[in-house]
Amino acid sequence: MLQIFLQGFAVYFIVWWITLFAVLPIGLRTQAEDNDVVLGTVPSAPTRFRALFTFSLTTVVSALVYGAWYISSTYFGWGFDALPQIGPSFR
């Protein structure tokens, strides 16, 4: 039981980490857009980092992605073997 939980957590963590990089630019305002560039920083640096918003949105989106993966693999039996083979087989 613990092994199944750890495997699920590992997959969720990977999905969460990948989703984080997709969610980071959402709602981002740069210093150049706000005309408030701080000396010693690049103009593309964020004006303020909304960590709670970013991490909350990442958690929700990754939970939806993980839930879709879990349902498709558990109830429908879809897995990596169901994907079409694009490249050559080296077996």
Q: Domain map of the chain by residue range?
A: 14-63
Alpha-carbon distances, residue 36 vs 27, 45, 51, 88 (angstroms): 17, 10, 20, 54
What pLDDT does residue 60 have? 97
pLDDT digits (tens, 9 = 90+) for 37-58: 999 999 999 988 899 999 999 9
Prediction pTM value: 0.76
Mean pLDDT of the chain: 89
Q: Does residue 7 surpass a pLDDT of 90?
A: no
Q: How far apart are CA 57 and CA 8, in angstroms?
A: 20
Cβ pair 38, 31 in contact under 8 A:
yes
Q: How far apart are CA 86 and CA 91, in angstroms?
A: 15
Give 12's pLDDT tier (boundaries 50, 70, 90). very high
